[in-house]
Amino acid sequence: MLDVLEKGGPVLWLLIVIGLGSVWVIIERLFFFHTVDLDEAKLRERLQGTLYAGRWEEALALATQNQSPLASLLRAGILQRNLPEADRKDAVVNAASQEVLRLENNLHLLQTVSHIAPLLGLLGTVTGCMHAFGILGNAGTVSDPSVLARGISEALINTVAGILVAVPNVMFYNHFVRKVQKVSIRLEQQATDLLLMLAGRLS
C-alpha cells in the first residue's frame, strides 16, 4: 500500500484527501436522512389528534423537540396561527424553503468531487507519462526497465484512483438528490395540509 502511495505521486495524495472528504459528507448525509425519516415518523405518531383538537401548545412542544422538516413547518404554522392567512402561508412556505436548503446541505461537494476526480486522475496520468517519456528522452535507451515502469505506474495508479473516487460520489449524489426530491414533494403536501387545517380550525 505504501508502495502504491509512493508511486502515485502528489496527485494521488490530493485524490485521497478529497476522497476522504467526500466519504465524510456521504456518511453525514446518510445519517441525516435516516434521522429525518425516524423523527418524522415519531412526530406523526405523537401528533395524532393533537392538532385537530386544537391543542396548539402541546403540538408546538412536540414540534420543538423534533428535528424533522415537518416539525419546522408545524412550528412556523402554529407560531403564526393568529396572523392573516396570507402571512401564515408565507411563514410556512419560508420554513419549507429553509428545510429544502438543509436537505441539500453539502451535496454540492459531492457533485464537485465527482467532476474533478476524473480530471485529477487524468492529470496524474499525464504527469506519469511525462516522467516516463522524459526518462526515454534523456537516456535514449533504458537499461533498467523499472525506472521507466515508475512513470507508467504513476499514470495508471492515478487513472484508477480518479475513477474510484468519482464513481461512488456520482452514485451517492444521485441517491441524495432523489431523496431531496421525495422529501420536498412530501413537504409541499404537508405545507398544504397544515395551512388547510389551520384555516379550518381558526375560521
pLDDT surpassing 70 at residue 138 = no
Rounded to an integer, the average pLDDT of 97-110 is: 92
User: pLDDT tens across 83-99, in order?
Assistant: 888 888 888 889 989 99
Domain extent at residue 21: 2-201
Inter-residue contact 79 to 95 (CB < 8 Å):
no
Percent of the chain with pLDDT over 70: 84
d(CA 61, CA 189): 22
Domain count, the chain: 1
| Residue 100 predicted with pLDDT over 70 | yes
What's the start-to-end Cα distance of the chain, in Å? 70
122, 161 Cβ separation under 8 angstroms:
no
Count CA atoms closer than 13 A to 194's CA, side-chain side.
Answer: 31
* Residue 74 pLDDT exceeds 60: yes
Note if the pTM is more than 0.95.
Answer: no
Q: How far is CA 17 from CA 77, 153, 171, in A?
A: 43, 20, 19
State the chain's mean pLDDT as an integer: 83
